[in-house]
Structure formats: C-alpha cells, structure tokens
C-alpha cells in the first residue's frame, strides 16, 4: 500500500473532506484517511449554524474566516447539489439572541463590521416566532444567518469527492504516526501499512494534538464533548433560530428541531448521558414551551477540537517539511470550513491567499513538547 501519493490528508470530517475537494478540483492526487467513517465526529454532531454562536466574542482572526464562509456557503451548497444530487440544505432563517449580558458589545461589533444585527422589540420577536417562551425581556436579530444540514453536507462532499479523478478514500483507517526521512515528513503509518505522500495534511479534529505529539510537538487541541437532542415537529413550527443562555434551537426545513449543546471536558469519552438529556430538554422547553409535548427523536454526542480562542491552525509546520495543519476549529468547524479550506489550498498551491494567513500559522503556536 506504500505507493507515492501527492497529498495525504488525515481526517475525514468537513475540514478534511473540503480540503481534499479543493485540492482534487485543482488536479492534485489526494488520498484521504479516516479512522472511522467520514464526518461521524464533530462535523456530524454540530448544529450547523453558519455563524459563531456569539460572533462578537471572537478575535478578528475567527471573524475574517466566518465572514468569508458565510458569503460563500450558498454557492458551495449549489455546486455540491449540482454535482451530486444531494442538497446540503443551506437554510436562511435568521437568528434571535435573547437576554444577552453583552448586547451593547454585540451591537457595537455589528456596526463596526457592517453586519445586519439590530435590537428588536420583544413583542416583535414574539410576533415573528410565536412559539417562543415568555420569559425573555430583550432580543437582537440578524436576518441573513443560515444553517446547513451538516450530515447532508458530509454526504454531499463525500459523493463529490469520489466523483473526481485522482481521489482515494480509506475509511476505518487509523493513522498512528508519521513516516520521517531526509529531514522531512514522507507519509503516515496506518494499521494497513505506510502511506506515502509529497505533502501530509493533519485535519484530524480532536485527535490532531495526539498525532502531532508523536513528533514531540505540543499542539493545544483537545477533545471537548458536546451533546444535543432532536425533536420532530411540523415543517412550519419554528421559523427562525433562537439562542439564549448558551443553548440554541435550530429548525431544519422538514420540521426537525435541533437543541444544543453541552460543553464537557471528558477526554475522548462521547457517551450520551441522562444528565445532559434532562438539561437539554429543560433548555428546549424554556426556549419553546410547546416542545414539552414533542418527542425527542435523537440524542447524541461528538467531540469538538478545542483550541485556544478557537483560532484554527492552518499552514505548514515549521521544522517538518511536508507536514501541514488544518485543524483546531473548536466550535466553528462547519462555520469556518469554506474559508479555512480555501485558504489552505491557496497556501499549499502557492496562490495568493483569500485572507491574511498569519493569524493561523502554526509557527510560534506549535511548540516542542
């Protein structure tokens, strides 16, 4: 199995899949390795809001990626739908934030960034979202926020990727470390033997820190467990996304309502718990009282790649020629994926980058263990 590949990508979440897609559409030969099934971790477990939950609380580095991605998502979805017949369902609903402590900062951020965020009267919010709970006193609203149906995005990306020439996908293929020689990274070791490549890209989400540790490097990316639940309601039950006290309700086009999510530091354990189920149900009923009578049709957990300030690592690893990172997106992997993967392709293919790459550079942020 040790044949020369142009680019070996470790990790088959949305970041790995879209990185592979962007490179393969530019004529690169790509082999994508996934330890389980593609998109089954953070990508599958996320809510798919095409915005950070509280965008004004992030650094300009995250904001730059988020804005580019938000503008690009509709055309990415159209392109994937046209190529595969699988619609990722980018659903523009708008988003209400309720009872924020930092509403003033949010509105100042929106004015500064030119984003359509505005304060609305609570009565107007109730008119727009009649099922909203009565316990809230203030609201702000952004009209153009969408959500993407993340499991469908993963399916669509996988199908689009497999339709391209020069793409090999190995699922159930865990990477244990790197092949080194001539002062550079030559490939990766797997249970099926070494797989070699001119470039190796680490896009392994919560597992990225452990893998980089095998080279004696310290990457502060760690698993952060998130649990969520799913209700099924009528298609017109909830018209808009709502967010209060760190919990959100996201309507899908067919009436499924996602409620999320917890933030738990439990290592690599992703067992759904009764405690989280009860907490999420309580949040659901507080946000939307009618959900007290709705059936929970799903409850699951995933592991997010936690990183300092949620700023991803995008670029070449200093001291290890041939090794690249596109990881550490924490809670915003789905939001930031289009921009992160476009920026990554620009860097690897030596093109003019879409945005300034310096805030994401591994240099100075990845240290010897």
Q: Are 307 and 313 in contact (CB under 8 A)?
A: yes
Q: CA-to-CA distance for 346 and 39, rounded, in angstroms?
A: 23
Residue-wise pLDDT for 313-332, tens only, equals 999 999 999 999 999 999 99
CATH class of 95-143+223-306: alpha beta
Task: Using the predicted structure, report yes or no on whether residue 4 has a pLDDT greater than 70.
Answer: no
Yes or no: is domain 4-46+153-220+308-368 CATH 3.50.50.60?
yes
Domain residue spans in the chain?
4-46+153-220+308-368, 95-143+223-306
pLDDT at 222: 96
Residue-wise pLDDT for 273-316, tens only, equals 999 999 999 999 999 999 999 999 999 999 999 999 999 999 99
The mean pLDDT of 123-150, rounded to a whole number, is 97
The mean pLDDT of 92-114, rounded to a whole number, is 97
Beta bridge partners of 314: 326
For residue 367, name the pLDDT band (cuts at 50, 70, 90). confident
Task: Using the predicted structure, report yes or no on whether residue 335 has a pLDDT greater than 70.
Answer: yes
Comparing CA positions, the residue from 179, 226, 257 lying closest to residue 333 is: 226
Beta bridge partners of 141: 96, 118
278: which residues sit within 8 A by CB, 6+ positions away? none
pLDDT at 369: 62
CA 2 to mean position of chain CA atoms: 31
Q: Are 116 and 144 in contact (CB under 8 A)?
A: yes
| Average pLDDT score over the chain | 96
Kindly write down the DSSP assignment for every residue of 230-294, as one continuous string. Answer: EEE--TTS--SEEEETTEEEEE-TTSEEEEE---B--TT-----HHHHHHHHHHHHHH-GGGGGS
H helix intervals, the chain: 14-24, 42-45, 60-84, 103-113, 122-128, 150-162, 208-213, 274-287, 333-348
Residue-wise pLDDT for 48-58, tens only, equals 999 999 999 99
Residue-wise pLDDT for 208-257, tens only, equals 999 999 999 999 999 999 999 999 999 999 999 999 999 999 999 999 99
Percent with pLDDT over 90 in the chain: 96
Q: Which residues of 113-152 are buried (b: 16+ CB within 10 A; e: fewer)?
A: eebebeeeeeeebeeebebbbeebeebbbbeebbbbbbbb
Q: Are 22 and 80 in contact (CB under 8 A)?
A: no
Q: CA-to-CA distance for 206 and 303, rounded, in angstroms?
A: 7
Q: Are 239 and 364 in contact (CB under 8 A)?
A: no
Task: Using the predicted structure, report yes or no on whether residue 158 has a pLDDT greater than 60.
Answer: yes
pLDDT at 2: 47
pTM: predicted TM-score of the whole model, two decimal places? 0.97
């Amino acid at each position: 199995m040790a044949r020369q590949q142009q680019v070996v990508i470790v990790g088959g979440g949305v970041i790995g899949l879209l990185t592979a897609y962007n490179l393969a559409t530019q004529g690169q030969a790509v082999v994508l390795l996934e330890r389980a099934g593609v998109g089954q971790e953070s990508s599958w477990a996320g809510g798919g809001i095409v915005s950070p939950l509280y965008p004004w609380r992030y650094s300009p580095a995250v904001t730059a990626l988020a804005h580019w991605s938000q503008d690009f998502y509709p055309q990415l979805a159209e392109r994937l739908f046209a190529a595969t017949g699988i619609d990722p369902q980018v659903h523009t609903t708008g988003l209400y934030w309720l009872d924020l402590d930092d509403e003033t900062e949010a509105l100042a951020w929106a004015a500064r960034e030119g984003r359509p965020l505005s304060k609305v009267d609570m009565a107007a919010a109730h008119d727009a979202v009649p099922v909203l709970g009565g316990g809230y006193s203030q609201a702000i609203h952004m009209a153009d926020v969408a959500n993407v149906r993340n499991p469908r995005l993963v399916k669509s990306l996988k199908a689009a990727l497999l339709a391209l020439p020069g793409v090999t996908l190995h699922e159930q293929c865990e990477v244990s470390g790197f092949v080194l020689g001539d002062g550079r990274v030559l490939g990766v070791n797997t249970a099926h033997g070494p797989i070699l490549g001119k470039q190796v890209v680490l896009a392994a989400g919560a597992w990225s820190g452990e893998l980089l540790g095998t080279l004696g490097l310290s990457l502060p990316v760690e698993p952060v467990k998130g649990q969520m639940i799913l209700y099924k309601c009528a298609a017109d039950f909830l018209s808009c996304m709502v967010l209060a006290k760190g919990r959100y309700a996201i309507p899908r086009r067919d009436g499924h309502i996602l409620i999320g999510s917890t933030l738990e530091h439990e290592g690599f354990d992703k067992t759904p718990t009764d405690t989280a189920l009860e907490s999420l149900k309580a949040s659901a009923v507080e946000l939307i009282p009618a959900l007290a009578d709705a059936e929970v049709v799903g409850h699951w957990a995933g592991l997010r790649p936690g990183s300092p300030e949620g700023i991803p690592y995008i670029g070449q690893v200093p001291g290890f020629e041939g090794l690249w990172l596109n990881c550490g997106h924490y809670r915003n992997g789905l939001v930031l994926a289009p921009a992160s993967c476009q920026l990554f392709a620009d860097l690897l293919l030596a093109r003019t980058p879409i945005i300034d790459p310096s805030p994401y550079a591994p240099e100075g942020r990845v240290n010897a263990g």
